[in-house]
Amino acid sequence: MLLTLSLIMHKNLDSQKNIDFRLFTFAFLKENKMIDVVIADDHAVIRKGLQLFVNDDAEVELTGQASNGEELLELLKKIHADVLLLDIDMPKINGLALLRELEMKYPRLKTLILSMHAEKIYGVNARRMGAKGYLSKDTDPKDIVLAIKKVAAGKEVFTESLYKVNRHGFIPEVKMSKRETEVLKLLVSGKNNKEISELLEISDKTVSTYKLRLMRKLKAKSVVDLLRYEEMNKQ
């Protein structure tokens, strides 16, 4: 329709009016630009469900999907994205660890966390590392699409209670050895056991021992919990 209108105008208007029309067309397209969305989640069912609801909205378009952190970073090198729907528990590089890199490499990208974990557990951390919103995976799909539009417009999507939380108040300091601290920092940076063993020149088995020791000390159930501890107690 826009193309047909353009041809008619070019045929009937003089040169100056043609220029004015082209400027109008550019402004129209810019103002009505669709929101490009990328989904990063290791569950294909979740990605498929989100795809259906995202593409059903005239203002939003799904431009890419990733099933893990490494795949997401490669994808973002090739496509444009305005908003990223990001899961926390993903293989290779978890969502919270990714936030640091995304904030540095793609400062204009708006990240919306979509997780099975409650906001009160990771919300403060996610916001501090650059996320613009946090939603539970049981959120109504229509509300997820609405949240996408809000963060794309520069708004945040968090509960009011999150803003009142003292980020240093969740987890107490725990005494750790120098080596435990080194292993912890490498784990939360996204390194796997093999990479850590090479960097610290220790065996894979020793790395696993330190990892288990850290999990017990910090009452952590996963590497994501270790990352949470590290961020909450950062000076």
The two three-digit tokens of residue 145, written as one number:
């699409």
Q: Would you say 76 and 36 are in contact if contact means Cβ atoms under 8 Å apart? A: no
CA distances from 126 to 17, 38, 56, 169 (A): 50, 18, 28, 16
Q: Backbone phi, then psi, for 110, in 5-degree steps?
A: -95, 120
What confidence category does residue 122 fall into, taking pLDDT thresholds of 50, 70 and 90?
confident
User: Does residue 75 carry a pLDDT above 50?
Assistant: yes
Which residue is it, tokens 């029309």? 21
Q: What is the mean pLDDT of residues 18-22?
A: 44
As a whole number, the mean pLDDT across the chain is 79
Whole-number pLDDT of residue 231: 63
User: Does residue 235 carry a pLDDT above 60?
Assistant: no
User: Does residue 100 carry a pLDDT above 60?
Assistant: yes
Which residue is it, tokens 């959120």? 139
How far apart CA 115 and CA 95 sit, in angstroms, is 10
CA distances from 86 to 11, 52, 60, 103 (A): 48, 17, 16, 13
The domains found in the chain, sorted by start residue, are 32-164 (3.40.50.2300), 178-232 (1.10.10.10)
Instruction: Kindly report which listed range (30-39, 74-83, 114-123, 159-168) carries the lowest average pLDDT score.
Output: 159-168
Q: Would you say 9 and 21 are in contact if contact means Cβ atoms under 8 Å apart? A: yes
Which residue is it, tokens 């059903």? 56
User: Does residue 129 carry a pLDDT above 90?
Assistant: no
Whole-number pLDDT of residue 127: 85
Q: What is the mean pLDDT of residues 31-43?
A: 84
Q: 3-state DSSP call for residue 133? A: strand
User: Does residue 183 carry a pLDDT above 60?
Assistant: yes
pTM of the shown model: 0.58
Dihedral sign computed on CA atoms, order 225, 227, 232, 235? positive
User: Does residue 159 carry a pLDDT above 90?
Assistant: no
Highest mean pLDDT among 51-55, 89-93, 111-115, 157-161: 111-115
The two three-digit tokens of residue 56, written as one number:
């059903």
